[in-house]
Amino acid sequence: MLIGANLRFHAASTMKVPVMIQIFRDADAGLLTQDDSLVVHATFPSLVEGSPFDVDKADDSDSTLYLRLGGKASVRELLELMITRSSNLATDILIERVRAPRAQASARALGAWSIQVLRGVEDGKAYRAGL
């Protein structure tokens, strides 16, 4: 007996797994290495109209990365923070690097048809628009 087998719900951080998978695929393809450094910043363009949104440390489960705003962090560090500490800031920096549609395509390629990777985690305007 399956209870709610076809019920869809907001699965929050499960969308971080396809982002990680896309990073690994890009590394395998030679497009990046885990030692590459990315700029740590907290302002990103919204999926809606491209207007800026900020990732707020008050809404993030990990605040350590915010101490490094304006500096750099390796892809490896960002992956670890995204997966082990559920850092939304690390996630959005990595999504910016690999692009959400590519992470979603990785999920689809693995048969995860219901996972949606459409935007940065804290893109409230897109979330309110149903994206």
Cα–Cα distance between 125 and 128 in angstroms, integer? Answer: 5
pLDDT above 90 for 10: no
Q: Is residue 69 part of a domain?
A: yes
pLDDT in tens, 80-108: 999 999 999 999 999 999 999 999 999 99
Cα–Cα distance between 81 and 88 in angstroms, integer? Answer: 9
Q: Is residue 3 part of a domain?
A: no
Q: What percent of the chain has pLDDT over 70?
A: 92
Q: Is residue 19 part of a domain?
A: yes
Cβ-Cβ contacts under 8 Å for 63 (sequence gap 6 or more): 57
Task: Show the domain range for 24.
Answer: 13-128
Q: Which residue type sits at 104?
A: Q
What CATH number corresponds to the domain at position 21? Answer: 3.40.710.10
Q: Is residue 124 part of a domain?
A: yes
Indicate the DSSP class of residue 119.
Answer: S
Cα–Cα distance between 56 and 66 in angstroms, integer? Answer: 9
State the pLDDT at residue 8.
64
pLDDT above 80 for 126: no
**Alpha-carbon separation of residue 83 from 44, 46, 97, 101 (angstroms):** 20, 23, 16, 19
Q: Residue range 8-34: average pLDDT?
A: 89
- Does this model's pTM top 0.95? no
Q: Is residue 25 part of a domain?
A: yes
